[in-house]
Amino acid sequence: MKNLFNLTKLAFLALTLFVSVSCDDDDDNGNIIEGESNTIADFVAANEDYSSLLAALQQTDLDATLAGNGTFTVFAPNNAAFETFLDGAALEDVDTDVLRQVLLNHVLNTTLTSTDLTTGYVTNLATEPSSNANISLYVDTTDGVVLNGQSSVTTPDIETDNGVIHAVDTVIALPTIATFATTNPALTSLVAALTDEGNTAFTTLLSDTEQDFTVFAPTNDAFDTFLDGAALEDVDNDVLAQVLSNHVVPGAVAISGTLTNSYVNTAATFNGEADAPLSLYINTDNGVTLNGGSDVIIADIVAVNGVVHVVDTVIGLPDVTTFATADPNFSTLVSALTADASFGYVGALQTPNGTDPAPFTVLAPVNTAFENLLTDLGVDSLDDIDTATLAATLELHVIAGANVRAEDLAGLDGMMVETLGGTNITIQADPAAAIDPDNGENPIVATNVQATNGVIHAVSRVLRDL
């Protein structure tokens, strides 16, 4: 009887162990988290004051995201914040894609407690539609925590299993470029310039979410240097508008990682002609430098309508020598223009538009064009070329009194035009080239580098009258 009892007891224990193991295998699949779940989604669902946020998350399927694994920071608007945001509309009337982006504008893909937050830019999970780059959020910790200048943290550091929640009193609207210009105290001088004498054109333009922009935004220190002791109101309004426009590249979202050594067109124009936008030369050899004199110090502040790059210098309005000195492809040309103390080419080519002999059309030989010239002449350097010959050669490349853009070439096809030295060259439209007095064809390989006092076209061969 005792043996039977022991066998029965052992059988019962074995059965219990088998059932226990079997249940474990069926239920968890290795994914059961010990204890009660307390995700960000759980917290929102359990708090009545966030019922509007919960409804918005459910409408956009983001509740599942915030219930999953992650290291999120969520700036959570309460019901009153949503009521203000909706302004009488029903939540279901808000476009789901727009609502999703608005909500993602409140979510960071990293966990930042209140002690981790510092004044500056962070990246959230919303995206700019043209580039798909993640949108920025400006955090100001000067007095509490304020986001994009509009939403304050009221209750920080609500810890959850998958991140941290900071309660906020306002739904954070998707930022435009104007948002970031007006919220960063380091850019107050820029805002003052943009709105000088009540001007609203720039802020209206940069708030337009139907267009794309890249803006190079000078700091307050940059404006102090630019003004050089003068007051902003002392700057001519038309000049100021041109200078500011020269920092705006319309129709492009130029994220820093996509930038290369190249020219882009700004919103500034030659002589007020809309079809002759001023150029901006971007050099990425060592960071990002603009027109040879302004460096990007904070890159990729992404808004819903473009990107802002903060720069350390106001970008002055360029003349044709600006591009010659900024673009390394023209370094030999610059050496030629300054080869002799008697040469006054640099000063002449800085003549403002409207003053004789400006404007200029410059056919600028690239470095390889000069290398080929030296080879053809059988010399080692520019120093080996007779000064008078070099001067006459350089003058063949400048047409004074005209701003001839690429689109004008067809109307000049086969025509002879006078150059700065008085010698004629012939324009060829197709393929675009300048025919020199030696009847050599000098291909135009890049066009419409537009300055305030003329335009540059790069040529791959040095024009000759030898």
Q: Are 154 and 146 in contact (CB under 8 A)?
A: no
pLDDT band for position 277 (cuts 50, 70, 90): very high
Rounded to 10 degrees, the C-alpha dihedral 101/92/139/266 comes to 50
Residue 265 confidence (pLDDT): 98
Q: Are 216 and 311 in contact (CB under 8 A)?
A: yes
Any idea which residue has 């110090």 for tokens? 297
User: Helix H segments across 28-61?
Assistant: 40-46, 51-59
Q: Are 200 and 232 in contact (CB under 8 A)?
A: no
Percent of the chain with pLDDT over 70: 92
Asked if the model's pLDDT at residue 249 lies above 50, the reply is yes
Q: Which residues pair with 217 in a beta bridge?
A: 310
Separation of alpha carbons 74 and 42, rounded Å: 13
Q: Which residues pair with 311 in a beta bridge?
A: 218, 296
77 prior amide bond cis, ω within 30? no
pLDDT tens, position by position, 193-229: 999 999 999 999 999 999 999 999 999 999 999 999 9
Amino acid at position 283, single letter = N
CB proximity list for 188: less than 8 A, separation 6 or greater: 220
Amino acid at position 251, single letter = G
Mean pLDDT score across all residues of the chain? 92
Reading the block at residue 139, the tokens are 């955090």
pLDDT band for position 91 (cuts 50, 70, 90): very high
Asked if the model's pLDDT at residue 442 lies above 50, the reply is yes
pLDDT band for position 36 (cuts 50, 70, 90): confident
Residue 106 confidence (pLDDT): 98
Closest by CA position to 244, among listed 293, 184, 201, 185: 201
Residue 14 confidence (pLDDT): 36
Asked if the model's pLDDT at residue 90 lies above 50, the reply is yes
Separation of alpha carbons 246 and 316, rounded Å: 8
Asked if the model's pLDDT at residue 426 lies above 70, the reply is yes
Identify the three-state secondary structure at position 163: strand
Residue 35 confidence (pLDDT): 56
Residue 466 confidence (pLDDT): 78
Model-level pTM? 0.90
> Quick one: angle between helices 96-104 and 51-59, nearest 10?
120
Any idea which residue has 């004789």 for tokens? 356
Asked if the model's pLDDT at residue 77 lies above 70, the reply is yes
Q: Are 69 and 108 in contact (CB under 8 A)?
A: no
DSSP string, 294-307: EEEEEEEEEETTEE
